[in-house]
């Protein structure tokens, strides 16, 4: 990742973005709770989401928790967090069987002290694998995957409400990504990962998480078919995460219908990594995504992929806040 660079920004634009998301959440909540007086309407993202039992979270890099502006915005506006990197395989198991939970624990403690929920991200992914995993083959990789899931999910049992058990296992055309996991373990590896996670933490919500699934398209349909198959065979899956890394002018005409068709399979849906590129319509796009979640009863919450543009993985100012 390149060094974050300072960029000039408009405070007014920031306020407009956050207000669009709060307004979208508040309007839907108010129509459900007709006794909510305007004077008592929530003014933060987290409190607005909580009015309908949802969460509004942010991805967090623990190294920035010591910055007061970052920590204040995070603690004030959001009621859920996810580790941007600290709970991934390379961070949590740098050497075989030697776990390091320092970053993840720091975030969990910070969140718990403030009554915030914690999402878990991510148990199994083709990226950010430690070097020792990348060269494993066959049964050795299978054992490593299952041991990793058990070690991490056991450690965080009772502390995270949901896990992204498997991340980004499909290609745009709906085929399986030809990762080391797919090539070494075959088609059954995703199911195996969910069963291992269920054994390690039976109470956590177990999610499949991916990007490019913001419409009814070949990729989302392949994932839909997998989830339908899992539900029909009793494979323990509880939720699907829609990352929603999108452009300011993204075509979202089937976004809500797509969420709804997954919900109709009997899983929760979550917006897990929302960010929207800067440009005309950016605030409206945040509003459209928020309204879609509010309109789907099983859409349990929204997470934006970072607190401030200053530390975003993208360079097109995609987040709700800055310094």
Interface with ligand G2I (CB under 6 A): 1, 84-85, 127-128, 167, 211, 243, 273, 313
User: Of the two residues 25 and 307, which places its CB atom closer to ligand G2I in the complex?
Assistant: 307
Q: What tokens were used for 165?
A: 């058990």
User: Of the two residues 109 and 128, which places its CB atom closer to ligand G2I in the complex?
Assistant: 128
3-class SS of residue 280? coil
Q: Catalytic residue at 171?
A: no
Length of the chain: 323
Catalytic residue among 51, 84, 93, 168: 168
* Closest-approach residue to ligand G2I (CB): 313
Q: What tokens were used for 88?
A: 């991934």
Distance CA 168, CA 187 (A): 14
Least separation in angstroms between residue 139's CB and ligand G2I is 27
Cβ–Cβ < 8 Å for 132, 184: no
Distance CA 219, CA 214 (A): 10
User: Of the two residues 114 and 314, which places its CB atom closer to ligand G2I in the complex?
Assistant: 314
User: Of the two residues 99 and 313, which places its CB atom closer to ligand G2I in the complex?
Assistant: 313
User: Of the two residues 85 and 290, which places its CB atom closer to ligand G2I in the complex?
Assistant: 85
Q: Catalytic residue at 273?
A: yes
User: Of the two residues 79 and 122, which places its CB atom closer to ligand G2I in the complex?
Assistant: 122
Distance CA 299, CA 284 (A): 19
Question: Taking the C-alpha atoms of 289, 76, 307 and 172 in order, what is their torsion angle to the nearest 10 degrees?
Answer: -30
End-to-end CA distance of the chain: 20
Least separation in angstroms between residue 285's CB and ligand G2I is 18
Q: What tokens were used for 12?
A: 């007014």
Catalytic residue among 77, 84, 93, 273: 273
3-class SS of residue 231? helix
Least separation in angstroms between residue 226's CB and ligand G2I is 18
Beta bridge partners of 301: 55, 270
Least separation in angstroms between residue 273's CB and ligand G2I is 5
Distance CA 218, CA 60 (A): 31
β 299-304/55-60 pair status = parallel
Helix or strand run (H / E) with residue 61: none
Least separation in angstroms between residue 127's CB and ligand G2I is 5
Least separation in angstroms between residue 41's CB and ligand G2I is 32
Distance CA 72, CA 33 (A): 29
Beta bridge partners of 42: none
DSSP string of 192-241, one letter each residue: HHHHHHHHH-TTSEEEEEESS-SSSSHHHHHHHHHHHHHHHHT----EEE
Looking at the annotation, which residues are catalytic? 168, 273
């Amino acid at each position: 990742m390149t060094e974050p660079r300072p960029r000039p920004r408009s405070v007014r634009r920031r306020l407009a973005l956050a207000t669009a998301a709060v307004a979208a959440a508040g309007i839907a909540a108010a129509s459900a709770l007709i006794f909510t007086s305007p004077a008592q309407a929530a003014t933060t993202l987290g409190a607005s989401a909580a009015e309908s039992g949802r969460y509004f979270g942010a991805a967090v890099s623990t190294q920035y928790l010591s910055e007061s502006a970052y920590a204040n915005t995070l603690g004030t506006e959001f009621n859920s967090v996810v580790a941007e990197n600290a709970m991934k395989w390379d961070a949590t198991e740098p050497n075989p069987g030697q776990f390091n939970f320092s970053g993840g624990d720091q975030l969990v403690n910070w969140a718990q002290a403030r009554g915030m929920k914690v999402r878990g991200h991510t148990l199994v992914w083709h990226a950010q694998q430690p070097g020792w995993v990348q060269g494993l083959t066959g049964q050795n990789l299978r054992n490593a995957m299952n041991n990793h899931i058990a070690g991490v999910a056991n450690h965080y049992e009772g502390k995270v409400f949901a896990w992204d058990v498997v991340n980004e296992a499909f290609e745009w055309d709906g085929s399986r990504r030809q990762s080391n996991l797919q090539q070494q373990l075959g088609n059954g590896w995703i199911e195996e990962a969910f069963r291992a996670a269920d054994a390690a933490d039976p109470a956590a919500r177990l999610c499949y998480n991916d990007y490019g699934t913001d419409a009814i398209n070949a990729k989302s349909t392949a994932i839909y078919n997998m989830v339908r198959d899992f539900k029909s065979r009793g494979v323990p899956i509880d939720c699907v995460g829609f990352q929603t890394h999108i452009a300011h002018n993204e075509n979202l005409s089937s976004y809500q219908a797509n969420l709804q068709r997954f919900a109709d399979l009997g899983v929760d849906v979550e917006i897990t990594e929302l960010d929207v590129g800067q440009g005309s319509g950016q605030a409206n796009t945040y509003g459209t995504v928020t309204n879609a979640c509010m309109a789907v009863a099983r859409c349990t919450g929204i997470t934006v992929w970072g607190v401030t543009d200053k530390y975003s993985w993208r360079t097109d100012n995609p987040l709700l806040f800055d310094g």
